[in-house]
């Protein structure tokens, strides 16, 4: 839950604990209808209702950008039971090995603790981005990326 959530939609505009890095941030904390995951309204030609960064009109086709870029995509998902297991719970090896311990090993400490040592964006089930973290190693191939 965000520390500050004016509209009560469970999304805030500031980074906070409990996964804002992968849940998304609210792009308008004064309207509960505008939040990550909301359905677009009239193609989001004026306001970005789902906070995906796509709104406005294509002047060449006179169609909303949301319609042009997102209409041919389908919603896909996987239901998973289990919190940290499905969220790729991971403690960086550098934190546990005295030979690797250094100031650099804790460079992303606040982000990692803020997400409760979970990395759902990198998990085998719910992952949706490529691994660019220096302290997570191994092959990255998820069901979401395959779909």
Core vs surface per residue 100-132: b (16+ CB within 10 A) or e: eeeeebeeeeeebebbeebbbbbbebbbeeeee
Q: Which domain, by its residues, includes 97?
A: 93-146
Is 119 within a domain?
A: yes
Q: What's the structural domain count of the chain?
A: 1
Is 111 within a domain?
A: yes
Is 64 within a domain?
A: no
Is 140 within a domain?
A: yes
pLDDT tens, position by position, for the chain (147 residues)? 777 889 988 888 877 666 666 677 888 999 999 998 888 888 888 999 988 888 999 999 999 998 888 887 776 655 555 555 555 666 777 778 888 888 888 887 887 777 667 665 555 555 555 666 665 655 555 454 555
Is 63 within a domain?
A: no
Is 8 within a domain?
A: no
The catalytically annotated residue of 84, 86, 102, 123 is: 84
Is 136 within a domain?
A: yes
pTM, two decimals, is 0.53
- Is 86 among the catalytic positions? no
């Amino acid at each position: 839950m965000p520390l500050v959530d004016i509209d009560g939609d469970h999304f805030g505009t500031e980074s906070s604990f409990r996964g804002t890095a992968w849940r998304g941030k609210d792009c308008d904390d004064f309207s509960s209808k505008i939040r990550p995951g909301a359905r677009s309204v009239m193609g989001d030609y004026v306001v970005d209702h789902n906070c995906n960064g796509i709104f406005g009109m294509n002047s060449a086709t006179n169609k909303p950008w949301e319609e042009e870029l997102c209409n041919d995509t389908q919603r896909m998902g996987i239901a998973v039971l289990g919190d940290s297991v499905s969220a790729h719970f991971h403690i960086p090896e550098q934190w546990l090995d005295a030979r690797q311990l250094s100031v650099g090993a804790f460079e992303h400490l606040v982000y990692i603790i803020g997400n409760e040592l979970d990395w759902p964006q990198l998990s085998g089930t719910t992952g949706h981005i490529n691994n660019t973290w220096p302290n997570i190693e191994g092959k990255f191939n998820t069901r979401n990326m395959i779909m």
